[in-house]
Amino acid sequence: MNGTKLVKITEDQFLLEREIQKLTETNLQEIFELDFVKTEFELHGLRIDTLAFDKKSNAFVIIEYNKDRNFFVIDQGVAYLNLMHNNKADFVLEYNKRSTHQLNRKDVDWSQSRIIFVSSALMKNQQYPRGFKDLGVELWEVHKYTNNLIGFDEMKTFI
């Protein structure tokens, strides 16, 4: 609002996936209350966009970004969660390289590990896997508007 006159705000498009990633990583604590561990964490031929740690649940969180609609995010998420559970020591080692607080594998609650997908264009049918409470998947939409406004919205399940 400009005085008493409303100002129209329109949605802008993210030009690159990397723009969403940088915005999220820079504001990781404010958006998700997570600690940043590493960007582009590569292990066994898979590349995780952002590796983070949740101190509240003592668990690792993988964050993946997508600028466009993608049918395969859940498959990708399951593959990354399997990678984590099969290579726990590598995740702990990466955390310890970047943090003053040192972890042991037994310090991590692996059952609380999860993956967050952040996209500017999620598809409606992608919300249904959230109904499986043990899957550890969160879907978030991010939107960029004029006047440098950004909105992050978690997609909730209806089942």
Does residue 3 form part of some domain? Answer: no
CATH code of residue 41: 3.40.1350.10
**H/E segment holding residue 94:** helix 88-98
Number of domains in the chain: 1
Does residue 140 form part of some domain? Answer: yes
Does residue 137 form part of some domain? Answer: yes
Does residue 64 form part of some domain? Answer: yes
42-61 pLDDT tens trace: 999 999 999 999 999 999 99
Does residue 6 form part of some domain? Answer: no
pLDDT of residue 73: 67
Alpha-carbon dihedral 89, 92, 93, 94, rounded to 10 degrees: 130
Domain that holds residue 136: 11-154
129-141 pLDDT tens trace: 444 456 688 889 9
Does residue 4 form part of some domain? Answer: no
3-state secondary structure of 132: coil
* pLDDT at 11 > cutoff 50: yes
Does residue 79 form part of some domain? Answer: yes
